[in-house]
Chains A and B, each alone.
Chain A
Amino acid sequence: MKKSKKTLVDRRKFLKGAAVGGVATLVASTGVVNAQQSLVARSAPAVPPIPRPEADPSTDVSVLTADRTGSDFMVDVIKTLGFEYVAANPGSSFRALHESLVNYGGNKNPEFITCCHEESSVALAQGYSAVAGKPMMVMAHSTVGLQHASMGIYNAWAGKAPVYIVLGNTVDAAERRPGVEWDHSAQDAAAMVRDFTKWDDVPASLPHFAESAVRAYRIATTPPREPVVLVADSTLQESPIPTNASFHIPKLVLDTAPQGDSGSVMEAAKLLVAAENPVVIAGHVVRSQASMQQFIEFAEALQVPVIDQGGNLPSRHPLNQSLGGRGLIPNADVIIGLDVEDFWGALHNYRDQLHRSSQALTRGNVKLITITSRDLYLKSNYQDFERFQDVDVAMAADAEVTLPALTEAIKKLSTDDRKRVFQDRGTKLAAARQKAVERARVDATYGWDASPISPARLSAEVWNAVKNEDWAGGLNGAEWNYEKYYQRTRLSSAAGVGFAAPSAVGAALAQRKNGRLYVHQQNDGDLMYAPGVLWTAAHHRIPMLWVMHNNRAYHQEVMHIQRMANRHQRGIENAGIGTTILDPNIDYAKLAQSMGWYAEGPITDPKDLGPALKKAVDVVKRGQPALLDTVTQPR
């Protein structure tokens, strides 16, 4: 029986209709225009009709190739967004886009970074964005790939990182290959990560893809910055592009970040100028060297102590009171929190005993001010937004862009008398900081020659090895002189283990073109989640120096089990079961060597560190990654 033409479902006609229904003007940024124009020109021969019955596709099909497909246009769109790299573990649901990127797109802008796990892809992208200040693209396979990626996405969500994920999927059941492709398809592919992404979309046509791709980029990069997911349906990717069709690619214009209103800014300035003991607690506020200078100007205008959680002030600035700064809280009369991840936690002592209790560190009449974009976008299910803190002035705004106006208001309100008070305060703070530094220096002497190596000794040795280089990354010791914006890698996450290693590779990748020596301290337990990222670094010639913090345990968890065993009065002899990484000890040097790294270790005697570091630094300066397996004290 002949079927009615009306009932035929011709997928490609549907696509064509959807495409032509889009805006018929080709607009694209420089560099892409040529590609698109040539795309249209080369598409001039009509796409051969492909017979398609309603039921099973006919096997009598003579057309087996296509010059251009939807995935090529997707590459045109992607190129307008300025991605340098795309990180991915290959997956068949984005096979057409993969092929288009490396052939049609020339594997450049973006260049493919091969990852061995989707969680690594996302964390690598987050590390890159922390240094480059813009997103990296990630491609993930439907269902299984996104499930692997989900932990990385949650880290990016909690860490306010703009990761841009393109997800393959095959929504049309009639198009799926039998077997595994059904396992790797979903009705609503992005649903599983919707609780911790800022936006997602499933474009049904190529014009739709173009609009949503640009929209997704804007949404991801507007504070609070968060991951986004764009589903690239495999049917859309693999279908030939209709003859003579042209698609509009919206121009990418980034949204300006929201600034605090002038009334609230003035109110905050009045409180800060009048305060005798103001304190600043700052999360990740600055996003450039210029805004670091603005932060310095703000702090110096008030001569206010800064508890710096985000690398906003140079580490040796006299107002940087991060060493022991918590002791300033009880005496503070005004505290301002700038994009602080956990303001309540910064103002309270919490006691993790059988009876959990907390106590405010602040005095009763303290005035609290917050400026944070975190208040602008919350979701319900995952509780990464931390405990609610009642405050006196709350600006739901981006702290970085609000700071210049606040500084200006402070300067206007500061009388000569107040300026003299500020200067006196600054002098005292400089002396207090010097004392704290001296205390840290003396503390480092305890256990100096210990084996396993103390973290303080490790930090001092690594600092000594790189201090005369153009370095970035680094360790946490007090001797590290973070004076330039780019030296810090400002990363935050949901503390999902397995994040540190791939995010460090991403950060080092972003620093590669700057020729900087990237330094990273890597925990052993974290590396074992997805050590394949070592191969990624070697394969892509990403130079970086890793020193292991190899305490042969998931040490945080050892302490948790110890706490429970003590609470239950059973002794802690069994606390190592399930928490330590012993018997056999993992040879991280051999692990790294097997994946193409220069590596040495295990190093247990601190006296061996200096010579080993010298050799490793030389290797990194030649453009290779190098790892030292240093066996360390627990903390």
Chain B
Amino acid sequence: MRELLQRSIVTMALIVLTALLIITMRSVALAKTRAEAGAQSANAAPKAENAPAGNAKNGKAIYTTAGCYECHGREAQGGAGTGPKLGPDPIPFAAFVFQVRTPRDQMPPYTAKVLSDAQMADIYAFVQSQPQPPKADSIPLLK
């Protein structure tokens, strides 16, 4: 009887330990998943380097025909009171797409019907390819 009791205790202990182990492992996995999800959420869009390969030359042409320059300037430098600077160093591609498709504030929306994803990638490549400007201190008129 006593041996039976001891076996039961051992069995119960093993079950509890196994359960604890499973719970711990699942918690770790869950925590990892959440952490990854959190990280992804923090970067709501992929990094610029994750943008689909676009053609900057085509992008320049589309940037003009699609009228981006009307508000953002022909070199994507931004326009006073009309639109912010787009490049170089654009916002992440997914955020770029989100803004173009479903813009905040005043920007008119560009749906896929008038601007395809591929064209958007080309435009993104164009604004990304803009050269870094000279330092303000290197321009005599801006000193």
Is A460 within 8 A of B142, CB to CB?
yes
Chain B residues closer than 8 Å to A572, beta-carbon distance: 65-67, 114
A622 on the interface (CB 8 Å rule)? no
B73 on the interface (CB 8 Å rule)? yes
Is A559 within 8 A of B85, CB to CB?
no
B interface footprint on A226-246 (CB within 8 Å = 1, 0 otherwise): 000000000000000000000
Is B85 within 8 A of A446, CB to CB?
yes
Is B139 within 8 A of A448, CB to CB?
yes
- The range of chain B's interface size is 20 to 34
A387 on the interface (CB 8 Å rule)? no
Shortest distance from the beta carbon of B67 to any chain A beta carbon, whole Å: 5
B74 is contacted by which of A442, A452, A456 (Cβ under 8 Å)?
A452
A461 on the interface (CB 8 Å rule)? yes
Question: A442-B136, A566-B114, A634-B70 known; A447 and B106 CB under 8 Å?
Answer: no
A569 is contacted by which of B111, B133, B136 (Cβ under 8 Å)?
B111
> Please, how many angstroms separate the alpha-carbon atoms of A571 and B109 in the complex?
11
> Please, how many angstroms separate the alpha-carbon atoms of A562 and B103 in the complex?
14
> Please, how many angstroms separate the alpha-carbon atoms of A448 and B85 in the complex?
13
A573 on the interface (CB 8 Å rule)? yes
> Please, how many angstroms separate the alpha-carbon atoms of A571 and B66 in the complex?
7
Chain A residues closer than 8 Å to B111, beta-carbon distance: 566, 569
- The range of chain A's interface size is 35 or more
Is B73 within 8 A of A450, CB to CB?
yes
Q: Which residue of B lies closest to A569 (CB)?
A: B113
B133 is contacted by which of A446, A563, A633 (Cβ under 8 Å)?
A446
Is A555 within 8 A of B70, CB to CB?
yes
Chain B residues closer than 8 Å to A3, beta-carbon distance: none
Shortest distance from the beta carbon of A442 to any chain B beta carbon, whole Å: 5
A320 on the interface (CB 8 Å rule)? no
Shortest distance from the beta carbon of A34 to any chain B beta carbon, whole Å: 55
B78 on the interface (CB 8 Å rule)? yes
Is B106 within 8 A of A352, CB to CB?
yes
B interface footprint on A359-379 (CB within 8 Å = 1, 0 otherwise): 000000000000000000000
Chain A residues closer than 8 Å to B110, beta-carbon distance: 566
Chain B residues closer than 8 Å to A450, beta-carbon distance: 73-75, 77
Is B108 within 8 A of A567, CB to CB?
yes
A570 on the interface (CB 8 Å rule)? yes
Question: A441-B142, A563-B108, A566-B110 known; A446 and B78 CB under 8 Å?
Answer: yes
Chain B residues closer than 8 Å to A349, beta-carbon distance: 105
Question: A349-B105, A454-B77 known; A562 and B70 CB under 8 Å?
Answer: yes
Shortest distance from the beta carbon of B106 to any chain A beta carbon, whole Å: 6
A289 on the interface (CB 8 Å rule)? no
A interface footprint on B103-138 (CB within 8 Å = 1, 0 otherwise): 001101111011000000000000000000111100
B interface footprint on A556-578 (CB within 8 Å = 1, 0 otherwise): 00110011011101111101000
Q: Which residue of A lies closest to B88 (CB)?
A: A446
Question: A450-B73, A633-B73 known; A571 and B114 CB under 8 Å?
Answer: yes
B73 is contacted by which of A559, A567, A570, A635 (Cβ under 8 Å)?
A635
Chain A residues closer than 8 Å to B75, beta-carbon distance: 446-447, 450, 454
A455 on the interface (CB 8 Å rule)? yes
Is A634 within 8 A of B142, CB to CB?
no
A464 on the interface (CB 8 Å rule)? yes
Q: Which residue of A lies closest to B137 (CB)?
A: A441
Chain A residues closer than 8 Å to B77, beta-carbon distance: 443, 446-447, 450, 454
- In the assembled complex, 29 residue pairs joining A and B whose CB atoms fall closer than 8 Å, in A order, are A351-B106, A353-B106, A442-B136, A443-B85, A444-B136, A445-B134, A445-B135, A446-B75, A446-B77, A447-B133, A448-B139, A450-B74, A454-B73, A463-B141, A476-B80, A562-B70, A566-B108, A566-B109, A567-B109, A570-B114, A572-B65, A572-B66, A572-B67, A572-B114, A633-B74, A634-B71, A634-B74, A635-B73, A635-B81
| 8 further A-B pairs in the complex, CB-CB below 8 A; given A562-B70, A562-B108, A569-B114 | A351-B106, A441-B136, A445-B133, A446-B75, A447-B73, A566-B108, A634-B79, A635-B70
Residues of B within 8 A of A (CB): 65-67, 69-71, 73-75, 77-82, 85, 105-106, 108-111, 113-114, 133-136, 139, 141-142
